[in-house]
Structure 1
Amino acid sequence: MKNLAILFLAVAFTCTGCATQEELYRAESHLGSKITAIRELAGENRDLINSNRDLINSSRDLINSNRDFINSSRKIQADVGADLEGLRDSVQKLRGATEKLDVQVSLLESKTEDPRSALNDISSRLTYLENYLGIGKTEDKVGEDGKVGSPEKGEPTLTGREEAYANAYSMFKSGRYEAAREEFQKFLKAFPDSEFSDNAQFWIGECDYFKGKYEEAIIEYEAVIKNYPTGNKVPNALLKQALSFLKLGDKSSAKLLLQGVIKDYPNTTPASVARKKLIDIK
């Protein structure tokens, strides 16, 4: 390219007839400087282009990195949102459980505000059960004050074994099962052959039954059957043995006892209850 420029200048000067050898060298030198400058500028531009290309590539990497960061941030935000939603559900459930507990506590407080009322309710249920099973007839002699006799009929208040029995039975009806059990045992020890003895033995079994001691209750009911076979509490004792076995999950033994009550005491209230229980077991 340099030679071409010199040749061009030589021809031009030759044609004009004015160019000298010194001017030719001068022009060549000036042109070479220009070309060198252009080359240097081109090199700088090339370096600048390369630098810009590197900057563009770095920018692309930065953009991709930012895009990954944004995607990761969105995922984290979504996870946090899900966690917050789960936390809200848990808090709502906890509030519901707390409200339910408050209601139960309120009900419990309302039930325990008047213990005497609760005892009266227990006494009423026992009276209903006794009448339904036909096991309260002998206890009709026991008055509300725990005394034996019927003042409205003009009968005198008795003492001795009747008083001891009435005291134990009154404890039982008020739900004081452990104290009643002890009193009935004392009564049997003092009066083993009285008209109330089979009843006292039966109520000992009832004390165990109502305390959830079903194995002990079965043994006490058996004592009624063996020690007082002609007493009026035998069918009731057999029935309550069956119910105790049911509480223990022994349906086979319960069925046998219920069938025995129906067979041996067909026209009694315990037999009627036994028939209903057999239907329920099936």
Structure 2
Amino acid sequence: MKKVLFSTLTALLAVSCASTGNDAVKKSLTNINEELVVIQKSLTDTQMNMEDVQSASGNLQTDVTTNADAIAELRSEIAYLNNEILVLKGNKGATAAPMQDTNSKNVSSTTTSKGSSAPLNNIIILDEKAPAAPKEETPQIVVIEDSGAAKNSLYSYAIELNRQKKYNEARAKFQEFIKKYPKDQLAGNAQYWIGETYYSVNDMNNALKAFQDVISKFPKSNKIPDAMLKIGYVQEKQGKKQDAVATFQDLLKKYPKSKPATLARQKLQTLGA
């Protein structure tokens, strides 16, 4: 009887211990699950913060690019104004020189048809050998042969010619700029404006090639979004709607915060894409 009772107590104790052990395991698992949830939430928050930082960084880069372009254009305008001042100074020094007394003869008197003489002190007879007065030349842009002034003056002159719709002359000056300063930060801008000179006269084939050259030859230029937008415009004018849609979508993907992207988005809506 004692043996039976002892066995029964032992079994009850074992069951109790097992139940206690299961409770401990369950509690431990519950704690682990709670910690995993906290960790998962922390990872989610971190990922969101990283996305915010990346977005802010992208916006900052866009602002820097825009400001750099604006500064470059402002410098060009300043160079153009400086150039105009030099033109005015050059013209002032190039005015016709007054006739000198050494090239003229003052005549005190002359003989009349009747043989009498009369005073003609105010008459001036020019020497036949005296050089003619220099002709006044048409004002021209002064070409300054130093690195910074010449570069900015050339670019500003090309911009001004384009503004005046002298597209052939402007194109030639932009091409000259690229040839002289191929590594300058404005070289990509000059290539873009070459495309604009063709686009303005409806020469779409050459415009397309010029805009494509901005991307292929000047991959770091801040004019790439503008060039992509114009490539899409050209493709639309050429009747290549699918190509235009693909170009606009590529622009939105690569430069979503840029001003050309806003225009591309509007175009896509117009095209029903």
**TM-score when scaled to structure 1?**
0.47
Q: Which has the larger radius of gyration?
A: 1
More helix by share: 1
